[in-house]
Amino acid sequence: MHVSHRRPLAVAAAILAAAVALTGCIPSIPQPPSPTTTSDPTTTQPPADASLDDYLTAATAEGGAAVGSASGDAVAGGEGGAVQTSDSAIAVNGGSIEIVVESDVPFDTVLVGAGSTTVGSATPTAWPGSYEIALGAATTSTSIVVTVSQAPPSTEFSVVVAVVGTDGTVSAVDATNVSIVEVGTGDVQVSVSWNEDVDVDLYVVDPNGETIYYGATTSSSGGELDLDSNPSCQIDGIRNENVTWPLGEAPSGTYEVRLNLYADCNIDQTSWVVTVQAIGRTYRWEGVLEAPGRGGGEDEGILIARFDVP
């Protein structure tokens, strides 16, 4: 039975993603090390001259098929009706999160920006800069994925969203407040986020064949699992995990990324987003893990991707 109490810790790509249905158990393991980061601590509040680029580096929809094009214009609301997004989210610097976008009228374009956190019924205000995502077909509901900068200037901000209806009118704006958990970045950073209170485990195998996961949080090559979430359904709500190699320490060769649903915590499924930051390049994969949970071990998990570091 999984009784260890894990706690939150501080490039050609080949893709393989699949839904999973899993069960099992393993012996207890030692607690992982305390959180560490490779970046300087940031403040809670954004600077007065903040812009989109300080916080977001990409925005996509439709499983990555619809990619946002960047603009210097801020997202501003119009008279086209209401839009609603996820209320809040937790992200890691350098990682990605999924945000649900819904409207009372069909839309075919999503406008994505960033701004200060929104309190109560205040109207969100976006900073300069935005992404425009053209969808493949009109809809009243979709999910977008945004990727957070590896070095945002604060740990609190919001993702500001408006949609463009099929008649060309722009909706009002809504915002998802985002809290950032600071983690290590370095030469190679692999992170996963998911959208339900389940126990998802991230596995990264380095070019030397060593597996980094909750049972072996460091490797001889310098890699470290510095964030672990929802251990054995002890829900912390962070829903992110992160593995990193410091600057100058990531070994050359092929890396492998796997995911495992350790415990479903009485939830049927969860969506996930894996983000790889490797020597200045970013890759993302999306998918779903399905109940039941499997438990774990060093060889568990489904293969999500392989990527090379020169």
* Band (119; pLDDT cuts 50, 70, 90): confident
Cβ neighbors of 49 (< 8 A, separation 6 or more) are none
Task: Provide the pLDDT confidence category of residue 6 given band limits of 50, 70 and 90.
Answer: very low
- Provide the token pair at 6: 């894990």
The closest alpha carbon to 231, from 253, 207, 198, 259, belongs to 198
Q: pTM of this prediction?
A: 0.86
Q: For residue 3, which of 32, 30, 33, 40 has the smallest C-alpha distance?
A: 30
Domains of the chain: 13-38+183-309 (2.60.40), 52-181 (2.60.40.10)
Question: E strands, 86-128, where?
Answer: 88-92, 96-115
- Mean pLDDT, the chain, rounded, equals 88
How much of the chain exceeds pLDDT 90, in percent?
82
Is pLDDT of 4 > 50? no
What is the distance between the alpha carbons of residues 11 and 95, in angstroms, rounded to a whole number? 17
Question: Which of 10, 48, 9, 45 has its CA nearest to residue 155?
Answer: 45
Torsion angle in degrees (nearest 10) through CA of 291, 293, 294, 300: 90
> What tokens were used for 2?
């999984």
Structure confidence at residue 44 (pLDDT): 85
